[in-house]
Amino acid sequence: MSQSRIMPGFRPALGFTLFYLGLVVLIPLSTLIFKSLQLGWQDYVNIITHNRVLAAFRVSFVTALVAAAIASFFGFIIAWVFTRYSFTGKKLMDALIDLPFALPTAVAGIVLATIFQPSGILGKFLIDSFNLRIAYTPSGIVVALIFISIPFVVRTVEPVLQEFDSRMEEAASSLGATRLQVFTKIIFPNIFPALLTGFALAFARGVGEYGSVIFIAGNIPYISEIVPLLIVTKLEQYEYAGATAIALTMLVISFALLLFINLLQMWIRKRSGQL
């Protein structure tokens, strides 16, 4: 590397970046670790293995997983329809997909709660016809998380489908593959890594989601109480240590899962020769 740089502004730009990153992100985040360190191992284990905490973790991760899976399914169909077919109003629909990104989570929360509550438009219909309660059950959490997740899936799959080389399909067809075979053997394997990315993003977001969930969840301990809410509850009772322990655990698990999914994705890419 040369002793000085041709492009101007290296020192101020990097200096400010590091200073601001440290001040706004790194120092605050490090409190989580230091605060946890003040806690003894036994105290930590006691907090984390409390039944209510374990139940909350189960609720958070299971609902996020289910929601991400459902969102991946529908998101894939939506991305497929948007890239393959044309119909009037497609542009508008496409823009609308980002609504969950743009709509504040609290607004999403109260709207979904109102729709799915037993007296709500859909809530009443589902109870009357299928005896299915959505609001104030774990299903309600799943519904809220599907809403939040859908753009993650659509926006990661859409560009890959768009750039998919349709000559591969034509080649497969010319070799005698049926339409189903073309899909399962040609298209899906090429789209799968992107779908997995979308799934991972949706899942990561879902685990930490708070605003859109708490209104529809009912927040019944052991049944429909999510981890973020438990953290808030602990904070409101000034149990800082408990809140910190739970928060750190959640962060570590989420990061580990994301790392795992990233590795999985790399493995899939490598295996299918896309790396």
Partner 1 sequence: MSILLNNISKNYGTFSALNNINLEIPAGELVALLGPSGCGKTTLLRIIAGLEYADEGRVILNGVDETDQHVSRRGIGFVFQHYALFRHMTVFDNVAFGLRVKHKRDRPSETIIKQKVHDLLNLVQLDWLHNRHPDQLSGGQRQRIALARALAVEPSVLLLDEPFGALDASVRKDLRIWLRNLHSQLHVTSIFVTHDQEEAMEVASQVVVLNKGIIEQQGSPSDIYDHPANAFVSKFIGQTNVFHVDSPSRLWLESTGLRPAMETQIAHVRPHDIEITKAVNESGASAIIEDWQHLGALIRIVLSNNLPHNETNTLVYAEMSNESFKQLELRKGDKVDVRIRQVHWFH
Partner 2 sequence: MRWSLTAIALAFIALFLCLPLLLIITAAFAKGWSAYWSELTDHDTLSAIKLTLLTALITVPLNTVFGIAAAWAITRFEFIGKSLLTTLIDLPFSVSPVISGLIFVLLFGKQGWFGDWLYAHDIKIIFAVPGIVIVTLFITFPFVARELIPLMQEMGNEEEEAALSLGASGWKTFLFITLPNIKWALLYGILLCNARAMGEFGAVSVVSGHIRGLTNTLPLHVEVSYNEYNSVAAFASASILAGLAIVTLILKSFLEWQQAHDRA
Residues 173-192 that bind partner 2 (CB under 8 A): none
Residues 126-165 that bind partner 2 (CB under 8 A): 146-147, 150
Nearer to partner 2, 36 or 190 (CB): 36
The span from the CA of 205 to the CA of 200, in Å, is: 8
CB of 8 to partner 1, least distance (A): 8
Residues 128-187 that bind partner 1 (CB under 8 A): none
Q: Which does 2 bind (CB under 5 to 8 A by kind): partner 1, partner 2, none?
A: partner 1
Q: Which does 29 bind (CB under 5 to 8 A by kind): partner 1, partner 2, none?
A: partner 2
The span from the CA of 251 to the CA of 32, in Å, is: 10
- State whether residue 6 is helix, strand or coil: coil
Task: Determine the interface stretch with partner 2 among 24-32, 161-169, 189-197, 263-271 (rule: CB under 8 A).
Answer: 24-32
Terminal CA-to-CA distance of the chain, rounded, Å?
Answer: 29
CA-angle at 203, arms to 265 and 146, nearest 5°: 130
Residues 6+ apart with CB under 8 A from 265: 193, 196, 197, 200
Task: Determine the interface stretch with partner 1 among 1-9, 73-81, 96-104, 187-195 (rule: CB under 8 A).
Answer: 1-9
Residues 4-23 that bind partner 1 (CB under 8 A): 4, 6
The span from the CA of 152 to the CA of 240, in Å, is: 33
2 binds partner 1 (CB under 8 A): yes
To 10 degrees, what angle do helices 188-208 and 138-163 make? 140
Q: Which does 257 bind (CB under 5 to 8 A by kind): partner 1, partner 2, none?
A: none
Binding site for partner 1 (CB under 8 A): 2-4, 6
